[in-house]
Amino acid sequence: METVQFIIANLPLIWQRTVEHVLLVGAAVSIAIATGVFIGILITQSKALADRVLYVAAVIMTIPSIALFGLLIPILSLIGQGIGYLPALIALILYSQLPIIRNTYTAIMNVDPALREAARGMGMTIVQRLWTVELPIALPVIVNGVRNAVVLNIAIAAIATYIGAGGLGTFISRGISQTDVRQLITGALAVSILAILADLALLGLQRRLTSPGLRD
């Protein structure tokens, strides 16, 4: 098929765009993990705070991605970064917050209170308890949240091509504007395969990081 020939002929370009895409998502998720897990742990200290933070993150999620880009662009153009990498990065980080914060919070809250009491009674400090008991138990659920965030980000990063962030979405946007089915399918396939692979890879990671004592 023509599409197959197109793909073979353009492998270097596909690779380049894939790398752009992966770097964008990778950077966003890394930052999002740092902020999200931290906030998630922080809000376990207060239910009121937790409710508010989760609500805000949920509201951000309901905003369509392109609308969020649309809102960020004018603001960022003030510092001359309106188009391209930065608004995409910020939007991706914001979208990743809910899955990561919510999963971190829920996972830690779900740790059996008896374990917290046993740890406290034995003389562990809060940090020791988090590090050796609560986080290892919460880890699989947190990684699940990261996984959701990554898949979501890969999808949104495809849309970010419209604000100049590059990536695999470019094939799709060109395919639409040039009515070129080959590019359309190439783009759609590439992004889909990337998403599926990332999902499976992180699922594998999730399993590896689950202590054997916690697996069922």
Q: Contact positions toward other proteins, by CB under 8 A?
A: 46, 48-49, 52, 59, 61-71, 73-74, 77, 83, 112, 114-115, 117-125, 128, 132-133, 136-137, 151, 154-156, 158-159, 162-163, 169, 172-173, 175-176, 181, 184-185, 187-189, 191-192, 195-196, 199, 211-214
CA distances from 92 to 9, 20, 77, 120, 132 (A): 31, 14, 18, 38, 31
**172's tokens:** 């799709």
Q: What DSSP letter does each residue of 4-61 carry, written as one string?
A: HHHHHHTHHHHHHHHHHHHHHHHHHHHHHHHHHHHHHHHHTT-HHHHHHHHHHHHHHH
Distance between CA atoms of residues 136 and 131, nearest Å: 7
**178's tokens:** 């040039």
Distance between CA atoms of residues 209 and 124, nearest Å: 23
Minimum distance, C-beta of residue 77 to other proteins, in the bound complex (Å): 7
Amino acid (one-letter) located at 151: V
Q: Do 143 and 214 touch, CB atoms closer than 8 A?
A: no
Minimum distance, C-beta of residue 55 to other proteins, in the bound complex (Å): 11
Minimum distance, C-beta of residue 188 to other proteins, in the bound complex (Å): 4
Q: Which is nearer to other proteins, 32 or 134 (CB)?
A: 134
Q: Which is nearer to other proteins, 9 or 58 (CB)?
A: 58
Q: Which is nearer to other proteins, 9 or 197 (CB)?
A: 197
Minimum distance, C-beta of residue 42 to other proteins, in the bound complex (Å): 11
Q: Which is nearer to other proteins, 36 or 175 (CB)?
A: 175
Minimum distance, C-beta of residue 94 to other proteins, in the bound complex (Å): 13
Q: Which is nearer to other proteins, 33 or 158 (CB)?
A: 158
CA distances from 10 to 33, 146, 182, 186 (A): 34, 32, 11, 10
Minimum distance, C-beta of residue 48 to other proteins, in the bound complex (Å): 5
Q: Which is nearer to other proteins, 37 or 161 (CB)?
A: 161
